[in-house]
């Protein structure tokens, strides 16, 4: 029983212990659970501390992307990949981040490439304005800066004032303060490339591709696109040659393109190289020269060609300042000069034709000394005999002479304009002026004179005046030589100096005029001969010469009086005038004699009475009287009468009917009828009947 009591006590004690320990156990378990929680929290905090920087960097990345700070975003990505993500790479969200970063990089590349394309489009649109600014500033620098002008005259060029990034650059890359320019331009706002084109996209894109390790791809793409743009810029408009603005826009675009490339060359590290810009420039230069050569050939306005030359000079100077070789452009100017001279010659041909059309071909009347001084101030005329005469008086040349002389000088001035700013020596300019003047005299003026002489309305009086005019113009050539010498200060005695060929031009014109005088005289004689109306069957003559022949003789007398107006103020002129008058007179008499001979020998004329022979003889006598009256002084003896000797001997043979003498003396040097050809005598004998 005691054992049962003991067991109960044990059980009770155990129960009480269990009950007492249950609370302790619960508290112990709670302590254990708390400690586990504390440990877990500590672990969690530790892990979170590792993850928070990653999340913060990723958040920063998102902000940078949203604010388009792509270069910074790429740097953040690099830090995430190399530093932060490897610390917590076991977490899923980090794996997602790591997988997302390449996609973000591609997006940045695409966005930056899009920005680059916008940039390329922007500079394509603004090249015109950039080039206009560069050329204008280069021209101002060249015109107003005396130091640069002095360097240019010795062949040394300084890069024109053109600002990029707010700084002024010179050819050697040094910077200058912008206030060193002309003070007069200080108040004028100078546009810079940054004002016209935002270069940040290309810088940004270059940095991005560099960070991404794909710089070569970017460089190749940029250069390829710029080459394409260069080809587009070099394509001229079809009507570019019609206005100077067309050429100016063309040059502005090209200059703008290369100014931008020059800026990119200096502002970036290797995006473009000097070799690349030289390659593009050489390609462009060949195209530019071909375009200018073609389009300038279409131009027939010398003022426009001169404007083109000035644009080429400014264009060349501007790009030469940026280090581009432009010698071929200056070589092209020689071709443009030839084109300019051609357009000048065409223009002056019209001027000369108008002068000749308006000329009255009469000596210039001067009423007062003022009028005389006015004429000699325009044309170098000096004649001591005429100067002694009282007013009013007449100068031998017509009004076209001083006008022609003035226009030749005007062409020399126009030709001189082309040589400005070409950095040529005085000798080269002198040679150019002389060649231009020679072309004007030997080609343009000569052609106009030859055409004038051949015009139907130019009569004998006008032809005589043309001979006088060309004589005075020929004398004035030496004054044109002096005029050019005074401009260029190059002595005409210089070995290589080109001489003016005006002498041959005016001599040729005179010879043509003389030949035309002989031709027109003969034509006029033919007109009178056509008026002849002989009654070939008349029984006896009228006892006086035919009316048509007397009119012809009177015409010849008055015509040869005109030749007294030919220049004779010196021996050369007197000799020339006498020769022309004598030749014309002899030619007229021979032609008249031949025409009369042909009249009686005409095959359609079948019969001639002796009365008609007598009448014909009276007409020939009048011709002989005219020849013996010395219509033109200078003939020796009966030289002029010999023109009618064939007719005289033939008529004497038939008038006397002296056939026995003719036959007996035939072939003898002393024959009375030595000039009578047997065939001629027989032909006339068959027609004559003695009724």
Same structural domain, 346 and 312: no
Q: What is the mean pLDDT of residues 279-304?
A: 88
Same structural domain, 370 and 500: yes
Question: Residue 543: which CATH number?
Answer: 1.20.58.670
Does 298 map to a domain? Answer: yes
Q: Does residue 129 or residue 57 have the better pLDDT?
A: 129
Q: What is the mean pLDDT of residues 420-447?
A: 84
pLDDT recorded at residue 162: 38
Q: Does residue 337 or residue 503 have the better pLDDT?
A: 337
Does 118 map to a domain? Answer: no
Same structural domain, 667 and 590: yes
CA of 596: how far to CAs of 531, 546, 682, 689, in Å? 12, 13, 17, 20
CB-based burial, 497-529: b 16+ in 10 Å, e otherwise: bbebbbeebbeebbebbbebbbebbbebbeebb
Same structural domain, 276 and 351: no
Indicate the pLDDT class of residue 298, thresholds 50, 70 and 90: confident
**Average pLDDT, whole number, for the chain?**
80
Does 335 map to a domain? Answer: no
Beta bridge partners of 162: 169
- Residue 365 DSSP code: E
Same structural domain, 368 and 477: yes
How large is the angle between the packed helices 215-233 and 244-267, nearest 10 degrees?
170
- How far is Cα 41 from Cα 38, in angstroms, rounded to an integer? 5
Question: Residue 433: which CATH number?
Answer: 1.10.357.30
- How far is Cα 90 from Cα 75, in angstroms, rounded to an integer? 23
Question: Residue 248: which CATH number?
Answer: 1.20.1310
Half-sphere exposure (Cβ direction) of 86: Cα atoms closer than 13 Å: 5
Contact 196/258 with Cβ under 8 angstroms?
A: no
Q: Is the pLDDT of residue 182 over 70?
A: no
Of 324, 352, 386, the last residue of a domain is 324
Same structural domain, 433 and 538: no
Q: What is the mean pLDDT of residues 566-589?
A: 65
Q: What is the mean pLDDT of residues 640-649?
A: 90
Query: How do residues 345-362 score in pLDDT, each as one tens digit?
Result: 999 999 999 999 999 988
What total of structural domains would you count in the chain? 4
- Residue 639 DSSP code: T
pLDDT recorded at residue 187: 42
Helix, strand, coil share of the chain (percent; to 5): 75, 5, 25
Q: Of 226, 229, 232, 228, which is closest to residue 265 (Cα–Cα)?
A: 226
Does 263 map to a domain? Answer: yes
Reported pTM: 0.71
- How far is Cα 202 from Cα 505, in angstroms, rounded to an integer? 66
Does 163 map to a domain? Answer: no
Same structural domain, 593 and 650: yes
- Helix boundaries (H) for 158-273: 193-196, 200-211, 215-233, 244-267
Same structural domain, 536 and 656: yes
Residue count of the chain: 691
Residue 539 dihedral angles phi and psi, to the nearest 5°? -75, -40
Query: How do residues 390-415 score in pLDDT, each as one tens digit?
Result: 888 888 889 999 999 999 999 999 98
Query: How do residues 489-547 score in pLDDT, each as one tens digit?
Result: 877 666 455 677 667 888 888 889 888 888 888 999 999 999 988 888 888 888 888 99
Q: Of 125, 158, 138, which is closest to residue 229 (Cα–Cα)?
A: 125
Same structural domain, 577 and 634: yes
Q: Give whichever of 39-53, 402-416, 472-486, 503-517 has the largest mean pLDDT.
A: 402-416
Indicate the pLDDT class of residue 156, thresholds 50, 70 and 90: very low
Does 95 map to a domain? Answer: no
Same structural domain, 272 and 216: yes
- How far is Cα 675 from Cα 7, in angstroms, rounded to an integer? 200
Same structural domain, 416 and 472: yes
How large is the angle between the packed helices 446-454 and 502-530, nearest 10 degrees?
10
Beta bridge partners of 167: 164
Same structural domain, 542 and 649: yes
Range of 270's domain? Answer: 126-147+195-324
Indicate the pLDDT class of residue 5, thresholds 50, 70 and 90: low
């Amino acid at each position: 029983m005691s054992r049962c009591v003991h067991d109960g006590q044990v059980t009770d004690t155990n129960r009480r212990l269990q009950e007492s320990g249950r609370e302790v156990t619960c508290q112990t378990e709670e302590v254990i659970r708390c400690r586990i929680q504390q440990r877990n929290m500590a672990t969690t905090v530790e892990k979170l501390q590792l993850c928070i920087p990653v999340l913060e960097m990723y958040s920063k990345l998102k902000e940078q992307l949203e604010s388009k700070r792509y270069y910074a975003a790429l740097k953040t990505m690099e830090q995430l990949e190399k530093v932060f993500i490897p610390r917590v790479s076991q977490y899923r969200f980090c794996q997602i981040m790591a997988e997302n970063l390449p996609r973000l990089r591609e997006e940045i590349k695409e966005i930056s490439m899009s920005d680059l394309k916008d940039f390329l489009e922007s500079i394509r649109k603004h090249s015109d304005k950039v080039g206009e600014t560069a050329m204008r500033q280069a021209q101002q620098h060249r015109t107003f800066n005396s130091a640069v002008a002095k360097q240019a005259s010795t062949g040394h060029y300084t890069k024109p004032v053109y600002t990029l990034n707010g700084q002024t650059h010179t050819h050697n890359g040094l910077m200058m303060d912008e206030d060193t320019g002309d003070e007069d331009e200080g108040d004028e706002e100078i546009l810079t490339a940054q004002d016209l084109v935002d270069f940040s996209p290309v810088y940004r894109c270059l940095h991005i591709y560099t960070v991404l390790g794909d710089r070569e791809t970017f460089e190749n793409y940029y250069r390829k696109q710029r080459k394409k743009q260069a080809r587009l810029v070099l394509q001229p408009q079809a009507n570019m040659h019609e206005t100077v603005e067309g050429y100016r826009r063309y040059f502005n675009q090209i200059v703008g393109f290369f100014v931008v490339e020059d800026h990119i060359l200096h502002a970036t590290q290797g995006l473009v190289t000097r070799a690349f810009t030289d390659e593009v420039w050489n390609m462009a230069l060949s195209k530019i020269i071909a375009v200018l050569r073609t389009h300038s050939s279409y131009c027939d306005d010398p003022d426009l060609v001169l404007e083109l030359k000035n644009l080429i000079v400014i264009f060349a100077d501007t790009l030469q300042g940026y280090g581009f070789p432009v010698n071929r452009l200056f070589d092209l100017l020689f071709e443009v000069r030839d084109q300019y001279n051609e357009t000048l010659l065409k223009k002056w041909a019209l001027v000369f034709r108008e002068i000749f059309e308006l000329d009255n071909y009469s000596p210039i009347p001067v009423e007062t000394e003022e009028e005389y001084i006015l004429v000699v101030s325009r044309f170098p005329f000096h004649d001591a005999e005429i100067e002694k005469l009282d007013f009013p008086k007449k100068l031998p040349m017509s009004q076209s002479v001083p006008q022609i002389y003035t226009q030749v000088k005007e062409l020399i001035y126009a030709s001189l304009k082309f040589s400005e700013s070409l950095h040529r020596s005085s000798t080269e300019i002198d040679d150019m002026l002389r060649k231009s003047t020679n072309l004007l005299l030997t080609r343009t003026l000569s052609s106009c004179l030859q055409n004038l002489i051949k015009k139907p309305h130019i009569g004998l009086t006008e032809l005589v005046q043309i001979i006088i005019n060309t004589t005075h113009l020929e004398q004035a050539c030496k004054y044109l030589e002096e005029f050019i010498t005074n401009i260029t200060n190059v002595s005409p005695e210089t070995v290589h100096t080109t001489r003016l060929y005006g002498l041959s031009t005016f001599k040729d014109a005179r010879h043509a005029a003389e030949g035309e005088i002989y031709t027109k005289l003969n034509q006029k004689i033919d007109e009178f001969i056509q008026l002849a109306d002989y009654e070939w069957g008349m029984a006896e003559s009228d006892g006086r010469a035919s009316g048509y022949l007397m009119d012809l003789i009177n015409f010849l007398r008055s015509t040869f009086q005109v030749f007294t107006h030919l220049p004779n103020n010196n021996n050369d002129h007197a000799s020339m005038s006498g020769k022309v008058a004598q030749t014309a007179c002899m030619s007229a008499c021979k032609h008249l004699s031949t025409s009369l001979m042909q009249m009686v020998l005409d095959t359609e004329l079948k019969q001639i009475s002796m009365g008609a022979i007598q009448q014909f003889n009276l007409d020939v006598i009048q011709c002989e009287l005219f020849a013996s009256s010395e219509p033109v002084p200078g003939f020796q003896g009966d030289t002029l009468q010999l023109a009618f000797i064939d007719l005289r001997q033939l008529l004497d043979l038939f008038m006397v009917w002296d056939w026995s003498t003719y036959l007996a003396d035939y072939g003898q040097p002393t024959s009375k009828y030595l000039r009578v050809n047997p065939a001629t005598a027989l032909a006339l004998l068959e027609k004559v009947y003695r009724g």
